[in-house]
């Protein structure tokens, strides 16, 4: 930051963050005034995120008096707003001096490289130690953070952060924060299962009176009960939501009648033929939305209807490579592109097999490619550094560099 050559290069993810912030014009001496929420808005977001439900387990796991390490526990929402900040009183007063308090928004663009901001951008547990912070005022701190995902939707719902003096932070704290985040997700999952059980209780007498195949799902598509249908854990919902229409096309069932229930929906297939499902391949449009670093999404539209699916990081990498290489790639080529190792074809074949559950006939093999009849587009982020920021795949890193210097382009609609 001072213009001198350091003794050793920063970690790649830290270096990428610094370069991105330098291009944005963020001053490492002053930063920007972080956006803040009112107390009323903080209370509203605490309720909306459901993170209040997991706060007791986070306190009992992370704020242990026996650790001997002065710590602040912070919990932020998916937009980086600090909703809770607890811990040693003296340490919290010092944190208030750098703007790290309840209601502040700790994203990289405003307060530089930090644990919460990097976790939001990369979607994985991160540590930022001392001078790895972009702002000089943060160099006395170390922070570790881990993401918390909503098990109902798979989407990022918040971040758990532990911060303290750089000189006293223990090396195990990153693993501790990641473990606490998994415990929080398990607690959210347990509450979801309770809700599904209640919905199942409501649905049982209704399904007993239905003389045709039917299923009951919650608002996120998770199955509570079925009759006359193979049990599937979750339905892929229409891209535009249920809306007010009473008939929808679903990728696993075809055309269905949909009726609202208390806390869920009754779904009755109107056509169970494989031909109805196969209609998705006719003049289909496939859009890979990578504009949000924390939520890669696949959107498919065609004559039969449209639907969306939130992708795992690996599936997002695979679809991005297949979208860029429409001529197709062999298993060995994909292994080289993803892992830098052509021998890892077994892993590639397993991932493509899982991906085919959602794409069906839209995914060809020998070589692996998206069917030629489909129209494919990729919506990328404004900054090439935010293109699948969790990915360390050689081909993805090469694509980021190509987008940055103008030698590569993403396929457009």
DSSP assignment string, 223-241: EEEEESS---SBPPPPTT-
Mean pLDDT for the stretch of residues 288-306: 80
The predicted pLDDT at position 1 comes to 47
Query: Per the structure block, which two tokens stand in for 281?
Result: 């391949």
Work out whether the CA dihedral 60, 65, 69, 72 comes out positive or negative. Answer: positive
**pLDDT over 60 at 23, yes or no:** yes
Q: What is the mean pLDDT of residues 187-216?
A: 89
Mean pLDDT of the chain: 87
**Is residue 233 pLDDT above 80, yes or no?**
yes
71 Cβ neighbours under 8 A, 6+ residues apart: 62, 63, 87, 88, 91, 162, 163, 164, 173
- Report the SS3 class of residue 94: helix
* Structural Rg of the chain based on CA atoms: 24
Q: Which pLDDT score is estimated for 277?
A: 42
Q: Checking phi first, is residue 241 left (phi over 0); if not, alpha (psi -120 to 50) or beta?
A: left
CB-based burial, 346-379: b 16+ in 10 Å, e otherwise: ebbeebbeebeebbbbbbbeeebbbbeebebebe
| Cα torsion angle, 331, 332, 337, 343, sign | positive
Residue 98 has a pLDDT of 92
Peptide bond into 232 cis (omega under 30): no
Of 371 and 84, more confident: 84
pLDDT at 360: 67
Q: Is the pLDDT score of 318 beyond 90?
A: yes
Read off the pLDDT of residues 161-178 as tens digits, 9 standing for 90 and up. Answer: 999 999 887 888 999 999
Query: Is 70 exceeded by the pLDDT of residue 97?
Result: yes
From 224, 264, 258, 211, select the one nearest 238 (Cα to Cα): 258
Say whether 254 sits in a helix, a strand or coil: strand
User: 90 vs 96, 141, 333, CA distance in Å?
Assistant: 10, 14, 55
Confidence of residue 133 (pLDDT cuts 50, 70, 90): very high
**Mean pLDDT value across residues 152-160:** 90
Determine how β-strand 126-129 pairs with β-strand 141-149: antiparallel
- Dist. CA 55–CA 50, nearest whole Å: 9
- Please state the rounded mean pLDDT for residues 7-18: 85
pLDDT of residue 333: 95
Give percent of the chain above pLDDT 90.
Answer: 52
pLDDT attached to residue 274: 46
Do 344 and 314 form a contact (C-beta atoms < 8 A)?
no
Task: Kindly report, residue by residue over 253-285, the tens digit of the pLDDT.
Answer: 778 888 888 788 899 988 654 454 445 455 678
pTM: 0.71
State both tokens at 73: 């526990």
């Amino acid at each position: 930051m001072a213009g001198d050559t350091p003794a050793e290069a920063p970690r790649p993810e830290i270096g990428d963050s610094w370069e991105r912030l330098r291009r944005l014009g963020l001053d490492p001496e002053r930063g920007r005034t972080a956006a803040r929420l009112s107390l009323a808005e903080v209370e509203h977001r605490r309720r909306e995120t459901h993170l209040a439900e997991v706060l007791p387990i986070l306190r009992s796991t992370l704020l242990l008096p026996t650790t001997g390490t002065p710590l602040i526990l912070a919990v932020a929402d998916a937009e980086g707003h600090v909703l809770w900040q607890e811990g040693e009183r003296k340490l919290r007063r010092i944190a208030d001096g750098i703007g790290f308090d309840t209601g502040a928004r700790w994203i990289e663009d405003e307060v530089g490289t930090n644990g919460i901001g990097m976790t939001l951008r990369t979607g994985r547990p991160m540590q930022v130690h001392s001078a790895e912070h972009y702002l000089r005022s943060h160099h006395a701190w170390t922070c570790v953070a881990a993401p918390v995902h909503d098990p109902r939707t798979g989407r990022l719902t918040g971040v758990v952060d532990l911060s303290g003096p750089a000189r006293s932070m223990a090396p195990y704290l990153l693993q501790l924060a990641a473990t606490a985040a998994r415990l929080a997700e398990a607690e959210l999952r347990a509450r979801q299962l309770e809700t599904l059980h209640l919905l199942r209780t409501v649905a049982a007498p209704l399904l007993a009176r239905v003389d045709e195949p039917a299923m009951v799902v919650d608002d996120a598509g998770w199955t509570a009960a079925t009759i006359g249908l193979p049990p599937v854990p979750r339905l892929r919902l229409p891209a535009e939501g249920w809306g007010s229409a009473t008939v929808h096309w679903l990728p696993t069932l075809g055309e269905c009648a949909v009726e609202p229930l208390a806390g869920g929906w009754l779904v009755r297939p109107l056509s169970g033929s494989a031909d109805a499902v196969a209609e998705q391949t006719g003049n289909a449009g496939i859009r890979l939305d990578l504009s949000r670093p924390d939520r890669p999404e696949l959107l498919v539209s065609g004559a039969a209807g449209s639907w969306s699916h939130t992708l795992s990081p690996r599936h997002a990498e695979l679809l991005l490579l297949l979208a860029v290489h429409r001529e197709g790639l062999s298993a060995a080529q994909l292994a080289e592109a993803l892992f830098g190792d052509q021998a890892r074809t077994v892993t590639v074949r397993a991932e493509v097999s899982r991906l085919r559950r959602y794409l069906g006939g839209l995914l060809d093999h020998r070589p692996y490619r998206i069917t030629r009849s489909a129209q494919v587009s990729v919506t990328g982020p404004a900054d090439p550094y935010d293109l699948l920021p969790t990915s360390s795949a050689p081909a993805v890193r090469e694509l980021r560099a190509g987008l940055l210097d103008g030698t590569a382009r993403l396929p457009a609609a």
